[in-house]
Chains A and B, each alone.
Chain A
Amino acid sequence: EVQLLESGGGLVQPGGSLRLSCAASGFSFTTYDMSWVRQAPGKGLEWVSTISFSGDRTYYAYSVKGRFTVSRDNSENTVYLQMNSLTAEDTAFYHCAARTYTIGWYFEYWGQGTLVTVSS
């Protein structure tokens, strides 16, 4: 059974930092790009970042570039998102998603998400 289990969310003050983790199992983690997609409560999906299967390429949404860093440990089947200089606009559920290519690129597997709340 495929599982993506996010952790590390919580309440943080504006300007603070948080590190999210996503532990993967049940699929060939090292052959998938991994992404973070966030969803503000009651709102739509917003792509945040993607890291290539090998970890040598990373991509970021304009809204988080320079503040967030994505990384992965293929020996632990885990992807991370280091979030710095957080603002209220970063408050959201953060889902990790496994991206692959067969006919086009798509997010094949999703986690339930971890909630990040930025508030004083």
Chain B
Amino acid sequence: QSALTQPASVSGSPGQSITISCTGTSSDVGVYNSVSWYQQHPGEAPKLIIYGVSNRPSGVSHRFSGSKSGNTASLTISGLQAEDEADYYCSSYTITTSLFGGGTKLTVL
């Protein structure tokens, strides 16, 4: 199965909102509610920020939210802050594999 499709980069100014899309197929994103999102700062391990499409782990800012429509999931970050500048990856479960998106580099202008 192919990787999920994400835009290579997005940018926004402090205080603005941005949305990162993650497109899969009817065999992964479209059928399972197991879409998760990860934030990775340079030199660090990935960090879970959204699971089950739209749920935030304890300690993750409410400025992060997730949704899904059909075969496309989305991550929205509101009230952008400088510390949000990082790479973001989506992931979807399937019965025999896990898929990741190619990653999106978020630049806070």
Question: Taking A45-B103, A104-B34, A105-B34 as contacts, is the C-beta distance between A95 and B46 under 8 angstroms?
Answer: yes
Give the total number of A-B pairs whose CB atoms are below 8 A apart: 78
Residues 75-99 of chain B: 1 if any A CB is under 8 Å from the residue's CB, otherwise 0? 0000000000001010101001111
The dominant DSSP class at the A interface is strand
Evaluate contact between A107 and B89: CB separation under 8 angstroms: no
Evaluate contact between A104 and B33: CB separation under 8 angstroms: yes
Chain A residues within 8 Å of chain B by Cβ, number = 23
Residues of B within 8 A of A (CB): 3, 32-36, 38, 44-48, 51-53, 55, 57, 87, 89, 91, 93, 96-103
Residues of A within 8 A of B (CB): 35, 37, 44-47, 50, 59, 61, 95, 97, 99, 102-108, 110-113
